[in-house]
């Protein structure tokens, strides 16, 4: 998750917190003003978000099919003063957070971090760490000799990450670097021989240095209507920076947004990821589409394309339709086969924060095997 995605994620979580656990406000004397837009007298949380400062408790809903339904919460501290609000500054403040989640598959995680901005947003950084115990599934194509198509495993991991990047001059380009370190322990639910997985992947350290380049011309960082974003990150994991194995991972994506006609908007997402050398199996790329569980279609490298159309049938309400297709190429061609995945679905959005350009709603998606639903705050691709 890059810094822009982190800002989007945290600020949109504030939408939920305001409904249940209001924060301090620079204008507590007029609650209606904070929740109703003077433009059309409709429910809108722009003013509420703009005037937040201090501590906030954030409830969280988990809908990821790979780990099951669940929930959790976190405590945020928003580094913004009433003076900054009065002067019209601090719209995207620095934020510190701690929290955790728990799901029906007994997956749980705790962690904390800090996101900071400086020099009017020209320098952005984050640092964080945590511990997780995730119950996931490893899939194989073709199936195992005993007829089992998937096996469960538990992944315990702890570690941390730091990231910083800088605007290049007055341009829309950013460049930076990251460092991450973690320790992982893997245990499968049943004893089984997996020749494509090295035994040392069951218990190892993972340390890596990443190089980041980003280009962004979107008209809005939360729910874009026009513009594009291109992202490139190469992570080098070697023993010199704390990793047990030597391997590399490449992440690239391109998102484009276009106004097709009045109240009709189109978007396209292209994504390609690759892994090299001794990348642990649980860190290999997978087809990441709505309706497909994480790690369901996984390989040495993946590519995918997903399109989305949004129709604003009123100023506040929208309908969304989407569909995509991707392929995962095997890490070991002698044992595994190329896998294909697709999705399609629809959803709705409500223009919940006009000043921030945030639309929120729900998507229902179908993959090759299952249906799933997702609660969306901002773009469905906000995590990219």
Task: Say which CATH number the domain at 22 has.
Answer: 2.40.160.50
For residue 93, the model assigns a pLDDT of: 63
Domain assignment present for residue 340? The answer is: yes
For residue 147, the model assigns a pLDDT of: 62
Which DSSP helix (H) or strand (E) runs through 88? none
Question: What is the domain count for the chain?
Answer: 1
| pLDDT tens digits in sequence order for the chain, 384 residues long | 344 444 444 444 444 444 434 444 455 446 566 778 778 888 887 777 666 666 667 778 888 999 999 998 888 776 766 565 555 544 556 778 899 999 999 999 999 999 887 887 788 888 999 999 999 999 877 666 666 678 899 999 999 999 998 999 999 999 999 999 999 999 998 887 788 888 778 899 999 999 999 999 998 878 999 999 999 999 999 999 999 999 999 999 999 999 999 999 999 999 999 999 999 999 999 999 999 999 999 999 999 999 999 999 999 999 999 999 999 999 877 778 889 999 999 999 999 888 778 898 999 999 999 999 998 888 899 777
For residue 273, the model assigns a pLDDT of: 97
Q: Taking the chain, what is the end-to-end CA distance rounded to the nearest angstrom?
A: 7
Rounded to an integer, what distance in angstroms lies between the CA atom of residue 268 and that of residue 305?
A: 7
Domain assignment present for residue 175? The answer is: yes
In whole angstroms, how far apart are CA 320 and each of 92, 270, 348, 350, 365? Answer: 28, 18, 6, 11, 11
User: HSE-up of 105 (CA within 13 Å, CB side)?
Assistant: 19
Report the predicted TM-score, pTM, of the whole model to 2 decimal places: 0.85
For residue 179, the model assigns a pLDDT of: 96
Rounded to an integer, what distance in angstroms lies between the CA atom of residue 329 and that of residue 124?
A: 35
- Please name the residue that has the structure tokens 């194989």: 140
Domain assignment present for residue 382? The answer is: no
For residue 43, the model assigns a pLDDT of: 83
- Please name the residue that has the structure tokens 């979107």: 218
For residue 112, the model assigns a pLDDT of: 93
Domain assignment present for residue 384? The answer is: no
Cβ contact 355:50 at 8 Å? yes
Cβ contact 12:5 at 8 Å? no
For residue 56, the model assigns a pLDDT of: 67
Q: Where in the sequence is the domain holding 364, given as residue range(s)? A: 3-377
> Where does the chain show beta strands of DSSP type E?
24-25, 52-62, 70-79, 94-103, 108-118, 123-139, 150-167, 173-188, 203-216, 227-237, 247-261, 264-277, 301-311, 317-329, 339-353, 358-366, 371-377
Rounded to an integer, what distance in angstroms lies between the CA atom of residue 213 and that of residue 239?
A: 24
Domain assignment present for residue 383? The answer is: no
Residue-level length of the chain:
384
- Please name the residue that has the structure tokens 């400062």: 53
């Amino acid at each position: 998750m890059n810094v822009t995605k982190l800002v989007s994620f945290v600020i949109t979580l504030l939408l939920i917190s305001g409904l249940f656990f209001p924060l301090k406000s620079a204008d507590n004397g007029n609650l209606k003003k904070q929740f109703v837009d003077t433009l059309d007298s409709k429910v809108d949380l722009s003013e509420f978000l703009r005037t937040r400062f201090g501590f906030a408790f954030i409830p969280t809903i988990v809908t990821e099919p790979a780990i099951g339904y669940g929930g959790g919460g976190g405590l945020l501290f928003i580094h913004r003063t009433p003076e900054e609000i009065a002067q019209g500054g601090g719209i995207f403040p620095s934020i510190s957070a701690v929290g955790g989640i728990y799901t029906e598959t007994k997956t749980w995680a705790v962690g904390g971090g800090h996101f900071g901005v400086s020099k009017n947003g020209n320098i952005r950084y984050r640092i964080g760490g945590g511990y997780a115990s995730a119950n996931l599934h490893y899939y194989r194509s073709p199936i195992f000799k005993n007829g089992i198509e998937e096996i469960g495993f538990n992944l315990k991991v702890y570690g941390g990450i730091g990231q910083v990047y800088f605007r290049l001059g007055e341009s829309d380009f950013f460049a930076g670097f990251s460092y991450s370190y973690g320790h992982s322990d893997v245990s499968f639910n049943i004893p089984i021989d997996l020749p494509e997985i090295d035994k040392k992947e069951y218990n190892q350290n993972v340390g890596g240095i990443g190089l980041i380049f980003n280009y962004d011309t979107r008209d809005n960082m939360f729910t874009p209507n026009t513009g594009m974003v291109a992202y490139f990150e190469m992570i080098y994991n070697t023993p010199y920076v704390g990793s047990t194995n030597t391997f590399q991972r490449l992440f690239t994506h391109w998102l484009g947004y276009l106004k097709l006609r009045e109240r009709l908007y189109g978007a396209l997402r292209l994504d390609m990821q690759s892994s090299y050398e001794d990348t642990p199996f649980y860190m290999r790329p997978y087809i990441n589409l709505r309706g497909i569980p994480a790690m369901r279609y996984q390989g040495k490298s993946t590519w995918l394309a997903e399109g989305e159309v949004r129709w604003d049938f009123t100023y506040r309400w929208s309908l969304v339709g989407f569909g995509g297709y991707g392929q995962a190429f095997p890490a070991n061609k002698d044992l595994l086969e190329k896998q294909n995945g697709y999705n399609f679905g629809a959803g709705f959005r409500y223009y919940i924060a006009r000043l921030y350009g945030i639309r929120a709603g729900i998507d229902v998606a179908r993959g090759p095997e299952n249906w799933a639903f997702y609660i969306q705050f901002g773009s469905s691709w906000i995590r990219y």
